[in-house]
Structure 1
Amino acid sequence: LGKTITIISAVVGGVSLVLIITIIYFMRQPVDIVAPLPDEPFPSPVSDIYFSPREGFTFHNLVAATDNFDDSFVIGKGACGTVYRAVIPTGHTVAVKKLASHGEGNNIDDSFHAEISTLGQIRHRNIVKLYGFCYHQGSNLLLYEYMGRGSLGQLL
């Protein structure tokens, strides 16, 4: 019995040591999850929609596709805004998130631009793709890949 305990203790100790060393090794490695933001100037808020590349449709196309953001097109609501289903002129279905207005005027701040640029570069099978965004007279819209099976909350 004493020999068995000694062997089990040695194995558990060895495995624990290897596990700790592996964790420390991976924690010290630099992780490049997101590509660096481009140093291009932010476009002026005169034009309606900003894409990389430009898709060739406007805020007014989104208004038409959602019947002026009618409740019948709502597919979700949250603290940050409301999400609508829209079929854009190219024939693709997208999810349009209309961000809640915080009374900040007609300026797009640097943090919003940085978030858009970062989200637009992330590609992962578990993250909904951000196609672009639209800014028009104080309305901030995010255009996401449409997921026909519903939200994660509904699936859970």
Structure 2
Amino acid sequence: MRFTFFLLTLLAAGCQARPPQESAASHSPSRVAPDARLRETRWVPRQLAGQLVAVPADTQEPYLLLRADGTAEGNGSCNRFRGTFFSEQAGELKFSPLMSTRMACAAIAIENEFTRALGQSSTYRISGDTLLLFNATNAPVARLEAVYLR
């Protein structure tokens, strides 16, 4: 009898649809991805001044890259920019005036709003792959998304 019970238990375990480490409990929505890093992450604006960013065809996707050495660089869609940033206290993020090339393109309005948001930035919050920038009155000025290169 014990041998039959052992054999049935062993057979039932062998018929599981998923290995034990992949049970339904491990796929629960309560699992949270770690927050992206502020520095050395490519941040792409998804919302500026409360408006979704829609980049016209044949223009480059804007992005921001904050380097470990304190330099900020990126592309507004038409022009490359570069400057420095300050993040000396937890949650603080301020930019020096950004230097940029001055070429026109179909996305110049997006670029202007992007650089304006960076210039207004005072604090930030990262949640998962989302970077939120806030001005000095704690009003949101931009929502950016981490984009990982493969």
Normalising TM by the smaller chain, what interval? under 0.3
Higher helix share: 1
Higher strand share: 2
TM-score relative to the length of structure 2: 0.27
TM-score relative to the length of structure 1: 0.27
